[in-house]
């Protein structure tokens, strides 16, 4: 009986760290000419994001919990702007962090960002290095779309970190 209890305790304490065996983020990036903006939604596993921020010296954010620290969004925004770079017509743009919410699976968050004042855009270059510093098998899926109905899908990995898209 004692061994069963011990195994249950070990499972409970190690469960969070073995939740997923794959390393994936997904981003939806939409250029809207009507609003002159690029709108982004980034889905990222909370444990992976916290590990990446811990490597940068930011620990115990408790992202998307009741204990989340007040400046967690500042650290998340900074990390995403460092690892998800957008160039519009060869000019680097910084995205404004709008907020975040827990995903339905309770293992990840959706982060919302926006780049304003993007009129008459011809091309968008996206460099997506989210979590590459943490995991050799990291993959980042990007769905890019525009108001005109154009849609592209791309998978970024360690060997292929940048892709050019058309705004038209």
* 152 part of a folded domain: yes
Q: Rounded distance, CA 21 to CA 14, Å?
A: 13
* 99 part of a folded domain: yes
Output the CA angle 136-144-77, nearest 5 degrees.
60
* 86 part of a folded domain: yes
* 88 part of a folded domain: yes
Q: Rounded distance, CA 156 to CA 163, Å?
A: 8
* 153 part of a folded domain: yes
Highest mean pLDDT among 7-11, 140-144, 161-165: 140-144
Summarised one tens digit per residue, pLDDT across range 56-108 is 999 889 999 999 999 999 999 999 999 999 999 999 999 999 999 999 988 99
**Count: domains in the chain:** 1
Task: Determine how β-strand 24-32 pairs with β-strand 139-146.
Answer: parallel
* 102 part of a folded domain: yes
The whole-model pTM stands at: 0.85
* 5 part of a folded domain: no
* 53 part of a folded domain: yes
* Domain encompassing residue 145: 24-166
Summarised one tens digit per residue, pLDDT across range 114-157 is 999 998 888 999 999 999 999 999 999 999 999 988 899 999 99
């Amino acid at each position: 009986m004692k061994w069963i209890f011990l195994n249950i305790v070990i499972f409970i304490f190690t469960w969070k760290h073995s939740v997923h065996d794959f390393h994936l983020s997904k981003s939806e990036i939409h250029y809207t000419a009507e609003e002159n903006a690029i709108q982004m939604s980034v889905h990222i596993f909370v444990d992976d994001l916290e590990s990446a921020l811990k490597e940068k010296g930011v620990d115990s954010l408790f992202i998307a919990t009741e204990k989340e620290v007040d400046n967690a969004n500042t650290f998340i925004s900074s990390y995403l702007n460092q690892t998800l770079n957008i160039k519009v017509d060869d000019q680097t743009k910084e995205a404004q962090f709008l907020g975040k919410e827990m995903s339905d699976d309770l293992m990840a968050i959706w982060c919302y960002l926006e780049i304003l004042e993007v009129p008459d855009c011809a091309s968008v270059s996206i460099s997506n290095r989210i979590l590459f510093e943490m995991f050799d098998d990291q993959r980042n899926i990007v769905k890019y779309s525009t108001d005109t109905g154009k849609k592209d899908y791309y998978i970024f990995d360690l060997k292929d970190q940048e892709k050019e898209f058309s705004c038209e």
